[in-house]
Amino acid sequence: MSQRLHLVFGGELIDPARSEFKDVNNIHVVGIFPDYASAHAAWKAEAQRTVDSAHTRYFIAHLHRLRDEEREASPTEALGSRA
């Protein structure tokens, strides 16, 4: 069984209606989690901690969707193998 890693991160947004960070250097990386349930728990804790800040949002990124070892490499991944 493959791992299904999830990244939880967040920070202050320029506009709460968009997902654009005000300062990418200040993005808070909560951590990488081995399953959705633990990532969701971490996301929920951070979202509740920052509930009074309308411009602060946290997200869960499904890292396991970025790379599937059983699929052929994409053209951009192949660029790294040029001679």
Enumerate domains of the chain plus CATH numbers: 6-81 (3.30.70.2400)
Order of strands, sheet of 28-33, starting from the edge strand that comes earlier in the sequence:
28-33, 6-12, 56-62
Show pLDDT as tens, one digit a residue, over the chain (83 residues).
567 899 999 999 999 899 999 999 999 999 999 999 999 999 999 999 999 999 999 999 999 888 666 666 555 444 444 44
Spatial separation of the C-alpha atoms in residues 55 and 30, rounded to whole Å:
17
Q: Long-range contacts for 16-24 (Cβ within 8 Å, ≥24 apart)? A: 16/54, 16/55, 16/57, 19/57, 19/59, 22/55
Based on the number of CB atoms within 10 Å of its own CB, is 30 exposed (0-12), middle (13-18) or buried (19 or more)? middle
